[in-house]
Amino acid sequence: MGLTDTILTARNVSKRFAGVQALDNVDLTMRRGTITALIGENGAGKSTLVKILSGFYKADSGSFFIDGEEVEIRSVHQSSELGISVIHQIPSFAAHMSVVDNIFLGREIPMSRRRGPLRRFDRRTESDRIRPLIEQYSGNFKPSDRMENLMAYQQRLVGILKALVFSARVLILDEPTAALPIEERDLLLTRILKLKDEGYSILYVSHHFDEIERVADDIVALRDGVRVGYADTSLSQQQMVEMMTGFPLDSVSRIYKVNESIQSETEEAEQRNRHVFRLNPPTRGSVTSKPKGSLEIDLQEGEITVLSGLVGSGVKEIGEAMFGMRQDWTTQYRSAGVLRIVDSPSAAISSGIGYLSDDRIGEAIIPDFSVRKNLSIPKLTRVSTFWGQISKEHEQSITQELCGKMSVKMSSPEQAAIDLSGGNQQKVMLARWLYTESKVLILNEPTQGIDVKAKQDVIALLQEFVSQRGACLIVTNDPEEFLDLADRIVVMQRGEISGDFRFPDIRHDDILRAMLINV
């Protein structure tokens, strides 16, 4: 392979963030006119590498070559001058504006023969420039079409065309099919293959191994910031998982959760109450993450269940539907022989269900309320008289008790909850559902954005919650840190259950396979 065959080479790239080695001497070689797939688990360093190549981060060390010539990448501007362009997961557009106006936004072509700040831009020249590109890639839309009227794959294509117009040669596609309806994925993939045929070089970052199997020429795998695998042929999905995780799939690898006796489980299981959720997603509409038919999630009291899948697999939507947050779904909840319809959060709360949002600031905390008022808000009847008068003393004593038990660091129950640290906020949000005496807790990414100590506290709390006959469902895109406390892991892929593992058969590689491999 001669030098001119490689368009981009990165050598010994390292990057460190506050004590964490995000990338450690990573090499990357992209051959001209090929598609290189970049794979790895969450946190493996994929996005750090992408951000370094696009000039968003500066590498601590390492060298870069374009067409065999050494270059520096120190800014986003420099990176795009070199012809590198990142097309982001979900591109941001001005939805009400036309395709042509979006492509040339901020870089309009001015009318010739005119000067000054108020000169008009030349939409006709702009349109003439992109029209052949749209045709070449069978976009089936016009430059004048409004962005919002395009199909999702066409919008992605506009993002790519924008890069081509501004003379990109290396395209970095970051999860290009994320949030794309399934039936449109093939439409986008054929256009990506067409880009390759036209001589563009593509770095394809994705979790979807079936797509990679289809389009990739080369594969680079990262784990914990280190390049752990490289192949210049296409691989099977099985081989990709092996390369990424570093162990063959057939061998027995790590078994988690060894601290509990299996025997007692089976003995008690008979008397334990089950919480069964039957979910019916809306039949109309075409959303990628929507399950195809009705589906049943059953949680057993005294157990922690983890529901896991990639972004777009539908796990988040299922968690929300179980709490009655999705108006177009129907949710039936059966527990102790009683059937309830959960059509709103308030119906869920009165059925004994609690929900922790992954968006703490936007969906959980009431910013103008003190810790005390934040805690009692889902069930004020517990601290008030028959006529609805709230007892502040009662609220305070409950706040003191629960926050003391959870070791929330606060100056007093009257402190504004928004002023607490992230970990303490999260504990207060959890305390809410202990206060309502929930039987079922649905937690969406419960350890996201909190420090290590708070994580341990939160996990300890969940374990205590289930030990007192509670049932707990953790919804997450990244199951790794919950593997050793899960009694059961349900894995979803593109709206369907692709794996269901129960302790002691919870193995890291099985879960990854269920999350990633599409058969």
Using the minimum distance from each CB to another protein, give the nearer residue, 3 or 366.
366
Region 78-117 residues binding another protein, contact defined as CB under 8 A: none
Whole-number Å distance between alpha carbons of 361 and 363: 6
Shortest separation between residue 347's beta carbon and another protein, angstroms: 8
Size of the site for another protein (CB under 8 A): 32
Instruction: Select the span of 156-164, 206-214, 300-308, 344-352 touching another protein (CB under 8 A).
Output: 344-352
DSSP 405-454: HTT---S-TTSBGGGS-HHHHHHHHHHHHHHTT-SEEEEESTTTT--HHH
Whole-number Å distance between alpha carbons of 313 and 291: 9
Whole-number Å distance between alpha carbons of 122 and 126: 6
Residue 323 in contact with another protein, rule: CB under 8 A: yes
Q: What is the DSSP letter of 362?
A: I
Using the minimum distance from each CB to another protein, give the nearer residue, 276 or 418.
418
Whole-number Å distance between alpha carbons of 253 and 125: 61
Give the chain's radius of gyration (CA, Å).
26
Shortest separation between residue 432's beta carbon and another protein, angstroms: 8
Residue 381 in contact with another protein, rule: CB under 8 A: yes
Of 325, 406, 461, 472, the residue at the interface with another protein (CB under 8 A) is 325
135, 143 in Cβ contact below 8 A? no
What would the x/- binding string for another protein be over residues 350 to 379, using CB under 8 A? x----x-x----xxxxxxxx---x---xxx
Using the minimum distance from each CB to another protein, give the nearer residue, 173 or 325.
325
Shortest separation between residue 375's beta carbon and another protein, angstroms: 10
**Residue 2 amino acid letter:** G
Residue 380 in contact with another protein, rule: CB under 8 A: yes
Using the minimum distance from each CB to another protein, give the nearer residue, 235 or 348.
348
Strands 69-71 and 20-31: unpaired
Residues, the chain: 519
Q: Extract the runs of DSSP E, i.e. beta strands, from 131-263.
A: 170-174, 201-205, 218-223, 226-231
Q: What's the first-to-final CA gap in the chain, in angstroms?
A: 34
**Residue 148 amino acid letter:** E
Using the minimum distance from each CB to another protein, give the nearer residue, 255 or 418.
418
Using the minimum distance from each CB to another protein, give the nearer residue, 345 or 504.
345
Using the minimum distance from each CB to another protein, give the nearer residue, 59 or 375.
375
Shortest separation between residue 453's beta carbon and another protein, angstroms: 23
**What distance lies between CA 394 and its chain's CA centroid?**
40
Instruction: Select the span of 7-15, 145-153, 157-165, 346-354 touching another protein (CB under 8 A).
Output: 346-354
Of 269, 341, 390, 460, the residue at the interface with another protein (CB under 8 A) is 390
- Residues 6+ away with beta carbon under 8 Å from 115: none
Shortest separation between residue 273's beta carbon and another protein, angstroms: 23
Cα pseudo-dihedral 25, 175, 482, 486, rounded to 10: -140
Using the minimum distance from each CB to another protein, give the nearer residue, 244 or 325.
325
Using the minimum distance from each CB to another protein, give the nearer residue, 110 or 367.
367
Residue 349 in contact with another protein, rule: CB under 8 A: yes
353, 440 in Cβ contact below 8 A? yes
Region 407-446 residues binding another protein, contact defined as CB under 8 A: 418-419, 432
412, 436 in Cβ contact below 8 A? no
Of 21, 89, 332, 344, the residue at the interface with another protein (CB under 8 A) is 344
**Footprint of another protein on this chain (CB under 8 A)?**
323, 325, 344-346, 348-350, 355, 357, 362-369, 373, 377-381, 384, 387-390, 418-419, 432
